[in-house]
Amino acid sequence: MILAEQTATGFEKQFGYKPTGVWSAPGRANLIGEHTDYNNGFVLPFGIDKRTYAAVAKRNDKTIRVATSFSSELIEIELQEAKPEDLDWALYPLGVAWVMRQGLGSGFDLYLNSDVPVGAGLSSSAAVECCVALAINDLWELGHSGQDLALIGQRAENEVVGAPTGIMDQTASMLARADAAVLIDCRSLETEVIELGFGAKDLVVAVIDTQVSHRHSDGGYKSRRDSCELGASTMGVTSLRELTAADLPRAKSLMDDVTYRRVRHIITENDRVLETVEALKSAALEKLGVLFADSHVSMRDDFEISIPELDLAVETAVRTGAIASRMTGGGFGGAAIALIASSKLLELQEAVARAFERADFGPARVFAVSASAGARREL
């Protein structure tokens, strides 16, 4: 609640009056299932206990003003049909407003505050989109469901920001539950809450943030998506979700090596998500070690989205005693996660610091996260 109150105070200092309310949404960590979302596959994310907060109030005109705690810049635009452009961080909240523009009767003032690390693969962008979408939905009484708002956030990121991301991040941020992950079928958009059971075994999810920042709108992400679409069209299907491991020999005979490896990652990653769900349901957490390791190798070698810092983070976590570890998020930087005994967290922090220093990498941050509830009104 402290950050929520600070956000309300920041709004009042910026705009000279009190906000109508404060809404928040969590960042997310993905247990397993990378780049499967835009291939209509399966993902297993959870909301984390680091959140973005939006203090909002309606205006009596068509002006939208956006400010944040991390920039002195105040962005001011008129509510209009034209898409906002060239506004850097402000494109995320303004993109949501543009997608929801038909329901907006007026402009608004907005102040953002967050403790979700930016560029760490923890979906700071979706947290912004979801808390802003929920605030607009509540203030204008638009009646959208949580899944509707997730789709609105995705449209904002795709159409305004220009990042061709799937639906996972926004769905996780909107629909997350405490102490659970959310299995998302990205084809049907059906979700299932999967209890994690980590606390009962005194385990925590440690995030190893390499502090190598990534941007989803860069070309590496788009080229992976293009390869997946090429693979699907080559196999005569609408998405790679329709393929199984039995299709891999035929895929190999039809595709160039790069496209084949991209396709192989998606097919095998979907299987690993479902196997992880079964392991969690049966409390067989020891099975996660191989599943996470295979996922990381697939992302490193087949999808080629890991970097040396992420590989070292995973190696160090396993060497320190983590039950399971893998990179998480879109890749090309960001973070790895490790499932580890809470008593070993300090040891992991020290081991990562030594390993990164020996490798002449920049310092990494290591911190524990817990599964947190999705988007909600705070004040």
The per-residue pLDDT for range 117-162, each reduced to its tens digit, is 877 778 899 999 999 999 999 999 999 999 999 999 999 999 999 9
Tokens of 41: 């596959």
Task: Give DSSP secondary structure letters for 283-331.
Answer: T-GGGHHHHHHHHHHIIIIIS----HHHHHHHHHHHHHT-SEEEEESSS
Mean pLDDT, residues 161-177: 90
What residues have CB less than 8 Å from 53, skipping those under 6 apart? 3, 4, 7, 22, 23, 24, 112, 113, 114, 131, 378
CATH topology of domain 2-194: Ribosomal Protein S5; domain 2 (3.30.230)
As annotated, the active-site residues are 169
Cβ(125)–Cβ(334) under 8 Å? no
pLDDT tens by residue, 283-307? 999 999 999 999 999 999 999 999 9
Q: Under DSSP, is residue 4 helix (H, G, I), strand (E, B) or coil?
A: helix
Angle between helices 168-175 and 124-139 (to 10 degrees): 60
Within the chain, which residue ranges are assigned CATH 3.30.70.890? Answer: 197-369
Q: Is pLDDT of 217 > 60?
A: no
**Residue type for position 4:** A
Domain with CATH 3.30.230.10 in the chain: 2-194
Residues 6 or more apart whose Cβ sits within 8 Å of residue 61: 106, 107
Strand, coil or helix: what is 3? helix
* 3-state secondary structure at position 64: strand
Specify which residues 371 forms β-bridges with.
48
- Give the integer Cα–Cα distance in Å for 265 and 274: 14
Top CATH class of 197-369 equals: alpha beta
Global pTM? 0.88
Report pLDDT for 215: 55
Q: What are the tens digits of pLDDT across the range 238-293?
A: 999 999 999 999 999 999 999 999 999 999 999 999 999 999 999 999 999 999 99
d(CA 126, CA 176) in angstroms, rounded, equals: 13
